[in-house]
Chain A
Amino acid sequence: MAKARWTRETALTYLANNPDFTPAKPLSEYSTPYLKRTASAFQDAELAGRAAPSTTERRGHARAPVEHLEKEGHRLNQYRVLTPLDRELDKADLQNLYRRASKGAGKSGGDEVLIVLTGVVEYIPVKGSVPDNRIQTVSFWSDMDSLKEMIAEMTDILSFAEDVSGLKWEEVLAVSFAFPNEK
Chain B
Amino acid sequence: MEEEGGTPVLFPAYIEKAFKDRTLAYFEGDHLITETGDIHLCPDFSTFLCTTFEHNLLVFLLSVPTFPFLEQAIAFPGNKVLCTEEGKPIGIRLLGARRSTRWVVSAASWGAETLSLEWLQLLREVYDQAGVGVQSTPGSLGMALFRKSFEELHGEQWREKRLRRPPGPFAEKIRYESSGARSEVFQLNVQFDIAYENDQHNGYGAALAQFQPAGKTYRVRGAAVRHYAFYFVECEVTIHNTLDLGVFPVRVSEGRNRHPVFPRDVGMYRTWLWNTEIKLAEREGCHIKILSGYGWKEATSDFQPFVQHIATLRDQAPPEIRPYFKLALVAMVGRLGMSADRYKLVAGDEREEGDRCVCDAGIAYDWWIHQEHDSYPQSMPHIFSHTLMLCRVSLYEMAKRCMQEELNVIATNTDAIITEYKPAIADKGEQVETGEWTALELHHVIVTANRHLDSDEKSVHPGIPKKKKGKNNGTVTT
**Contact flag A138-B224 (CB < 8 Å), given A125-B373, A166-B173:** no
Cβ contacts under 8 Å, B4 to chain A: 121, 136, 138, 165, 167
CB distance from B240 to the nearest CB of A (A): 26
A21 beta carbon closer than 8 Å to chain B: no
Q: Chain A residue with minimal CB distance to B372?
A: A126
**Does B216 contact A129, Cβ atoms closer than 8 Å?**
no
Cβ contacts under 8 Å, A150 to chain B: 219, 221, 292
Bound-complex Cα distance A165 to B170 (A): 7
Bound-complex Cα distance A153 to B168 (A): 24
CB distance from A65 to the nearest CB of B (A): 25
A140 beta carbon closer than 8 Å to chain B: yes
Which residues in window 119-152 of A have CB below 8 A to B?
121, 125-127, 129-130, 136-143, 145-146, 149-150
> What 1/0 mask marks residues of chain B from 350 to 367 whose CB sits below 8 Å from any chain A CB?
001000000000000000
A164 beta carbon closer than 8 Å to chain B: yes
Contact of B222 among A115, A136, A149, A164 (CB under 8 A): A149
Bound-complex Cα distance A149 to B220 (A): 9
**Does A141 contact B222, Cβ atoms closer than 8 Å?**
no
Which residues in window 179-200 of B have CB below 8 A to A?
none
Q: Chain A residue with minimal CB distance to B354?
A: A127
A112 beta carbon closer than 8 Å to chain B: yes
Cβ contacts under 8 Å, B29 to chain A: none
**Does A146 contact B219, Cβ atoms closer than 8 Å?**
yes
Cβ contacts under 8 Å, B373 to chain A: 125-126, 129
**Does B221 contact A127, Cβ atoms closer than 8 Å?**
no
B218 beta carbon closer than 8 Å to chain A: yes
Contact of B1 among A112, A127, A138 (CB under 8 A): A138
Bound-complex Cα distance A47 to B373 (A): 60
Contact of B6 among A115, A138, A141 (CB under 8 A): A138
**Contact flag A166-B224 (CB < 8 Å), given A129-B375, A142-B219:** no
Q: Chain A residue with minimal CB distance to B170?
A: A166
**Does A166 contact B172, Cβ atoms closer than 8 Å?**
yes
Which residues in window 90-141 of A have CB below 8 A to B?
112, 115, 117, 121, 125-127, 129-130, 136-141
Cβ contacts under 8 Å, B170 to chain A: 140, 166
**Does B218 contact A143, Cβ atoms closer than 8 Å?**
yes
Cβ contacts under 8 Å, B372 to chain A: 126
List 17 other contacts, CB 8 Å, given A125-B340, A129-B1: A125-B168, A125-B341, A125-B373, A126-B371, A141-B219, A142-B220, A145-B224, A146-B220, A146-B225, A149-B224, A149-B292, A150-B219, A150-B292, A153-B221, A163-B219, A165-B219, A166-B169
Q: Which 9 A-B pairs have the closest CB atoms?
A: A166-B169, A138-B5, A145-B224, A126-B373, A146-B221, A149-B221, A149-B222, A142-B219, A138-B4
A→B interface (CB under 8 Å): 112, 115, 117, 121, 125-127, 129-130, 136-143, 145-146, 149-150, 153, 163-167
* 9 A-B pairs whose Cβ atoms sit less than 8 Å apart in the complex: A125-B340, A137-B6, A138-B5, A139-B6, A141-B216, A142-B218, A146-B221, A166-B169, A166-B170
